[in-house]
Amino acid sequence: MAETKTLLRALAGETLETPPIWMMRQAGRYLPEYRATRAQAGDFLSLCYNSELAAEVTLQPIRRYGFDAAILFADILLVPQALGADLWFVTGEGPRLSTITTEADFAKIGTRDDIHETLNPIYETVRILRRELPEETTLIGFAGAPWTVATYMIAGRGTPDQGPAHKLMAENEPLFASLIDRLTEATIDYLSAQIEAGAEVVKIFDSWAGSLKGDAFDKYALEPCRVITAALKEKHPGIPVIGFPREAGEKYVGFAKATGVDCVALDSAVDPKWAAEHVQVDGCVQGNLKSSHMVTGGQALIDETRAIVEAFSNGPHIFNLGHGITPDADPENVQLMIDTVRSAKR
């Protein structure tokens, strides 16, 4: 069956007449059925850890739209929680964590061997999905990249410029590097367990990679991705990996070769024609429609969707947004995007 799954074919380097489609945060608050299930769960973390309900919200956009892939419903901050960090969500404001800014703080967190008891419900969600998904639909697992996860652990919340993490890097790089190494090890084991449970592809989300510049990008975005990818491919030969160093700019060039990922996801700031010339030459690319089109719709959505499909038509491409869909999106615009992609024959 794997040979007929369009997403796996694109990840293997095949240029398809119609690119496969999925959408970041495709299971989310823009869907009324998601909101109903979230209310049933009680709160966000309870939804993540309820395997049956997490599987249900993962399946909802597949039933509604027939995407070519489903991505596991979870959160990138479950790994720090599994390592022993306190994690909670403030309504309307987002996640909060206990902070790591000193060696004493770091000494309190666990190791890669400690994560699975907490994360077992996530693996059960993957097993349910592998049973329940249509046979043509690829199942994607994921984790946050070490740098991005570290920014939350150091600041205790999301920040506009990741300033606390940059400050710790500058003032105590040995501690900062130790945290990155700990997260790299845990991420390898977390993604490996997802694969063993049934994930067919895994994606590494480095949402804040763009705030790393020069050598810091190479050391703390590129290198952890390379280590994670190499470890996964050694243990699970043939499992594709998607890397998403969001807002990497020129650093997208050569990222696939340097890390070993099978596909590079692109943010919406990247010009598709430029990316086709400089990034897609190394293999599959994913992206990169602006999320705002899911709110505004109309001819602009159609035109940009067609332009992206055309720009990437000479190589392997997975159609997606350049970032996650927002809660104010109109579900009808998602259908319009899908219809536009699937009618735009190459």
Active site residue ranges: 25, 29, 38, 75, 152
Residue 103 burial (CB count, 10 A): 11
For residue 87, the surrounding DSSP H or E stretch is strand 87-90
Distance of CA 285 to the CA centre of its chain: 14
Q: What is the rounded CA–CA span in Å between residue 240 and residue 263?
A: 8
How many alpha carbons lie under 13 Å from residue 62 in its C-beta half-sphere?
Answer: 21
The residue written with tokens 């994670």 in the block is 228
The residue written with tokens 């699970």 in the block is 236
Name residues whose C-beta falls within 8 Å of residue 221's C-beta, 6 or more positions apart in sequence.
Answer: 145, 147, 206, 209, 212, 245, 248, 251
Q: What is the rounded CA–CA span in Å between residue 107 and residue 58?
A: 36
Q: Is 214 left (phi over 0), alpha (psi -120 to 50) or beta?
A: left
| Residue 182, φ and ψ in degrees, nearest 5 | -65, -45
How many alpha carbons lie under 13 Å from residue 281 in its C-beta half-sphere?
Answer: 9
C-beta separation of 221 from 245 below 8 A? yes
Question: 140: helix, coil or strand?
Answer: strand
